[in-house]
Amino acid sequence: MNPTVIHHTFVLQRSFPVPPERVFAAFSDPAQKRSWFVGGGHGAEQYELDFKVGGAERMMSRLGPETPFPGTPLSSEGIHLDIVPNKRVVIAASMALGDHRISAALATFDLTPTETGTDLTFTHQAAFFENSDGPTMREAGWNKLLNSLAANLK
């Protein structure tokens, strides 16, 4: 019997040569977050960020012609559960491909000051539903997003 839900956790780490305040601003300022979170994506048509506890983050784009589902909407909706300025951001989010919900996740971003800047520890805990991208593709996607964040912090 195949499980209908796959649970998976992964942790990614990055070090940035900028102070925690600068990294935190990349999450809290809508223009900055859009530039690394959506800017290199699949042609975002919508992005909204209400950065406060209980505030929503919404993104909607369409998959490109090189994907298995060209033109299909890809949407993400999240709620900020915890925000500690310059230290932590926690978001509960769901993702849908067209009208089909493909996952629900808890994303935690921990910022730690270092002598040379900031260490970021990102923990992603998710339930992947039928016909989802799955853990391997999601981890690869977050690696790309964090690389985009690093490029934006230079």
Q: At what angle do helices 134-152 and 20-28 cross, to 10 degrees?
A: 120
Quote the pLDDT of residue 63: 84
* pTM recorded for the entire structure: 0.92
Give the model's pLDDT for residue 119: 98
Cα gap 94→126, rounded to integer Å: 9
Q: What is the mean pLDDT of each run of 10 residues along the chain (154 residues)?
A: 85 98 97 84 80 97 85 94 98 95 97 98 97 90 95 94
The reported pLDDT for the residue numbered 65 is: 87
Alpha-carbon distance of 83 to 98, in angstroms, equals 30
For domain 6-152, give the fold. Alpha-D-Glucose-1,6-Bisphosphate; Chain A, domain 4 (3.30.530)
Domain ranges of the chain: 6-152
Distance CA 85, CA 52 (A): 10
| The pLDDT value given to residue 1 | 53
